[in-house]
Structure 1
Amino acid sequence: MRKEKILVYEGFKRVDVWLREHFPHLSRAFLARMVKEGYVSCNRIPLRRPSTLVRPGDLLEITWPQGGELLVLPEELPLDLLYEDDHLLVLNKRPGITVHPVSPFQRGTLVNVLVYLRVPLARYGAPLRPGIVHRLDKDTSGVMVVAKSDLAYVELVRAFKNREVEKTYLAVVEGEFREGCTVHLPIGRDTRNPLRMAVQSGGKSAITRVIPLVSGEGFSLLLVQPRTGRTHQIRVHLSALGTPIAGDVLYGSQRSGEFFTRPALHAFTLAFRHPVSGRRMVFAAALPEDMRGFLGSYFRLLKVL
């Protein structure tokens, strides 16, 4: 933490307005949140309200977080831990939780939970995502690995980049998928909708192996193996095949509210070599309740998976 003391020589102004005038590179919303979180004191008294007026002669003290401390707030949320050692941890991410903050003070992310639990995380990487070596979409559930040591971070990032990590997903899709296939379709940002990715001739190479496990009555359960790691790759490829993931409104699901309120996509297994020992490790994550309920009632597959 770095502390900075500033004597107020002009006023009367709201403290968030005064701070914005003196730190124009920072947003007023950011500075207001700093006040609310207790990072700003006036005459040695912590402030909590951005509307507090400052006057000539007041002494402000600002505490600036540094490095990996950059305003990732601790937050208690459920965490399904599958494995942990001195270098890494493996967990089953529940649907509906973002992996890391995209701005200071953001709450409700996996990193907030890890900070709350005081899990030591690798110092490498962006300040708001310490230890994060790969990501899952907010609404995708399943297995993830997080680096606790710097060595683990470097080795895991390298392994993901070199496609040495094996990933399999389970997806419930709309439509009957009878034969397996390998999809080779390039992916780029959708020019009509910046929130979407799309199959584009000038996009990045993307390869996905798709294996049907069961199909019938308008739905299929697929085992999906992405060979590359493009944004929304599985969602884009399955939609391009005419079998969008159930609940995935962004990519063409027509029966979104019937069984799922989110894309029915689950990171099922993750296999990699331990970044220090070199031992091969394989982890599987149990299905979330919505997919378990659907498979148990619709396909009667609860005992199979």
Structure 2
Amino acid sequence: MYIDVLLDHPDFVIINKPANIAVQNENDRLGILPSICQQLQVSKLWLVHRLDKVTSGILILAKHAQAAAIFGQLFENKQVEKYYLAIASKKPKKKQGSIKGGMHKVRDGKWILNSNNQNLAITQFFSYGVLANIRLFLVKPLTGKTHQIRVALKSLASPILGDELYKGETSDRTYLHAYAVKFCYQQQEILVTCKPNFGEHFISIEMSDFLNKLASPTALPWPKVK
């Protein structure tokens, strides 16, 4: 398995994580972290944030402990902007805006949103009708909770296509992709984007054309954070 390297910095590497492969080793399969270590011929890389197994796209890995500590501060201070693409087959309750609520764990590994502010999750989004029964979401999570985007879209009555855990329709993959990241690392501004390359709906001609015309995610009129 070859992993696409999007940016190779002296202190960190940004890769395009394939869908359906866990970050760490599983019983019967090598994880992304040991795989990229082998590929880059390094003994260790530091995981500074996470992606679900089903999610593809941008993943940042530090090359040494000092860089990992810097990223820890950046994430803690909410100085890393992350943008995701998702596809749903059902129209949402609203076409754009924010989703806010407390994340509460229930059975079978699922999470739900409730009205209190414990374990608060805040998610902003725009959505676009690209094809009949295919709606594209551009999502900006302002917090980093487990399953946050998957739960947010489920709360809009638009579960992610292929995300059967949250009642999404069966498909060839779970249509969630880490699309772009922006941050300032030691006074250097970093902006990386990565289009999805797997999933029949992600790589369709219509979707590719739409993404080519879509403005940079950082340039969209996202609501001001209070």
TM-score range, shorter chain: 0.7 to 0.9
Question: Over alpha carbons, which structure has the higher Rg?
Answer: 1
2:48 is the alignment partner of 1:133? yes
Closer/same/farther in 2, CA of residues 120 and 84 from structure 1, 3 Å limit: farther
* Distance in 2 separating the partners of 1:116 and 1:216: 41
Contact 1:87 1:149 in 2 (8 A): yes
Letter in 2 for 1:231: T
Match of 1:27 in 2: none
2:101 is the alignment partner of 1:180? no
2:147 is the alignment partner of 1:232? yes
* Distance in 1 separating the partners of 2:130 and 2:9: 40
| Correspondence for 2:177 among 243, 266, 281 | 266
TM-score (norm 2): 0.84
* TM-aligned CA deviation for residue 295 of structure 1: 4.7
Closer/same/farther in 2, CA of residues 151 and 296 from structure 1, 3 Å limit: closer
Matches within 5 A, 1:148-163: 148-163=63-78
* TM-aligned CA deviation for residue 85 of structure 1: 2.3
Match of 1:96 in 2: 20
Report sequence identity in percent: 28
How many correspondences in the alignment?
A: 208
Match of 1:110 in 2: 32
2:12 is the alignment partner of 1:83? no
Q: Structure 1 stretches of 5 or more lacking a match?
A: 1-76, 122-129
The runs of at least 4 consecutive aligned structure 1 residues that moved more than 4 Å come to none
| Correspondence for 2:42 among 106, 119, 123 | 119
* Distance in 1 separating the partners of 2:203 and 2:22: 27
CA RMSD of aligned residues (A): 2.0
Contact 2:196 2:203 in 1 (8 A): no
Higher strand share: 2
3-state SS of paired residue (1:289): coil
* TM-aligned CA deviation for residue 247 of structure 1: 0.5
Q: Structure 2 stretches of 5 or more lacking a match?
A: 212-226
* TM-aligned CA deviation for residue 301 of structure 1: 2.7
Letter in 1 for 2:97: C
* Distance in 2 separating the partners of 1:288 and 1:296: 6
* Distance in 1 separating the partners of 2:34 and 2:202: 32
TM-score (norm 1): 0.64
Match of 2:192 in 1: 283
3-state SS of paired residue (1:182): strand
Letter in 2 for 1:218: N
* Distance in 1 separating the partners of 2:54 and 2:202: 18
